[in-house]
Structure 1
């Protein structure tokens, strides 16, 4: 097939997305596809291609810090222009499939998917509605809770517009909390907070237009489960060397140890897999989609759903490819399965 891979983009996860895109390109070339690698937010959007079997794709490193807010605004303007007209849009129209290796921002909140749907272009992963449902953490957790899945107490809060809500103060008084953006991925701007003064300090550093979510810090073990189509992959345990699985821990060597399959009793693993499939379906992910649901356990060892990722990372060190190896899938096989799910016959 002629495949255009969209990677990079305008989000805080831009570096991660570049690394995913290049990994996906190598896998697709190994499977015999013709590949063009495109970053719609770059000054020169076509990074490589058309590439064919035997061509090489350079590695892309993930930096220690995500792009700044100012940089992201500039990137967003370029990305909008590229996806709504000009040579990038024509390149997408000429492809048999658009492989979305975008993470965060417009790539994961449904914006890019909606543009591709309006242009009637086939693409990998969930549709725009499911992406939008999963992207806003407060709304997603409300949906998951209504579907009977265990979620932690949470308090949405706009730090720049008013004082700390009473409900958030009560959570901090009861113990440590986690403060994170309601929209975003790769644990960017996630903080553990142990006191009210610390919460107020974190709030003072936040932008007024960025909604935050305050929820209890869960001290137990952390797990993640990938779902490809309707199939749950083996459970991965994330063994942390830091209190939080933050951006640095995810993408820098030595920040975390990831074990697949997780060393847990079989009934516990099946319980997590069942919850991941239920979360996948509750948020509207269909048979063509893939996702990754993250869990963290409370002090009693009970798992809570903390996030559902519509376009989880596909770098060499990402969690979904690790889970695929637990199912005896090679990395190219995982990518080919994602491609196959996007075919019209699979939808």
Structure 2
């Protein structure tokens, strides 16, 4: 089954890179998207708004080659984040990059994390009247803060684990966090970050203190929740269609950055080898989560689940701009649905331009 989009002749600017810990993943996604759009007959410009020279490539036309990009084993340092954000804001609010964006038929947002996924970039594009792929600023903001998102999901009937927010370095460990650790193990992770950056399994108060010592400042807020020992799944929604369930077969306690972006680091099975009624339940929960956070039928998302020891699935988070690299999970789910990678990218563009 192939998508029948109107990509031929469209001018598309792809935004990738950015200022987050997922910068490298985004650069990989951007190049993969560019190759797919060129295959579909589009004219493409690849832009990293945080770079000193923002236009990475283009305008590229069908038949031209896009260089590859290898995602490293560790996320990039954020020591230069303020400067990257200054460049990003300047590029998106004036000058030649803004003119490129205004001249495009559509902007493909392949930014992950940080301003690219928390609604900042989407708000700037909305104010400029520029059409772009993916969710709008409100849905991105709703999904980005895991604590608030889980509160919304729980109210909508999507099962979520107990959770406590904690600022390492901001004084004594709250009693609620201590209680969870004592009942342990737990998972501690930034409440607003992606690609499983800085995700820690914690088995004792001493390990929690070590996590706190590694955090550069008290400004970083963590979410602490019970470690779920069961199987892990993810489900993508593209428009009104829920894709097949992917199972993530872990060889490590948590699905961290290294496992996500190094080929062969984990097993990823699609469709997951699970009973049909359980697959249907995960798909229904993913669609409910997608809608509860304000994602419309013109957007896409990926919802992650992990099971309790009893097998009951718990929603971990909803990703507004999931990775689109060759080893990413949404392209794998699309393959399970019978779509080629370029079909998936064409469908995302079609949702934004219909």
Q: Does 1:59 align with 2:57?
A: no
Instruction: Give the aligned length.
Output: 344
Q: Equivalent of 1:311, from 305, 316, 321?
A: 321
Q: 1:37 aligns with which of 18, 40, 46?
A: 46
Aligned to 2:146: 137
1:297 pairs with 301, 307, 314, which one? 307
Q: Runs of 4 or more off by more than 4 Å in structure 1?
A: none
The alignment yields a C-alpha RMSD, in angstroms, of: 0.7
Paired position in structure 2 for 1:254:
264
Match of 1:10 among 6, 9, 19: 19
Is residue 263–residue 327 contact of structure 2 (8 Å, CA) maintained in 1?
no
- CA–CA distance in 1 between the matches of 2:167 and 2:191? 10
Aligned residue runs from structure 1 range 119-130, under 5 A:
119-130=128-139
Q: Shift in Å at residue 160 of structure 1?
A: 2.1
What does 1:256-295 correspond to in 2, within 5 Å? Answer: 256-295=266-305
CA distance in 1, matches of 2:171, 2:242: 42
1:130 touches 1:284 (CA, 8 Å); kept in 2?
yes
Alignment of 1:187-336 (within 5 A): 187-206=196-215, 207-336=217-346
Would the aligned equivalents of 1:40 and 1:83 in 2 still touch at CA under 8 Å?
A: yes
Q: Is the 8 A contact 1:177 1:217 kept in 2?
A: yes
Of the candidates 168, 176, 185, which is equivalent to residue 167 of structure 1? 176
Distance 1:332 1:263 in 2: 26
Q: How high is the TM-score relative to the length of structure 1?
A: 0.98
Equivalent in the alignment of 1:90: 99
Shift of 1:125: 0.3
Residue 69 of structure 1: how far off its partner (Å): 2.1
**What runs of 5+ residues in structure 2 fail to find an aligned partner?**
1-9
How do 1:68-107 and structure 2 match up within 5 A?
A: 68-107=77-116
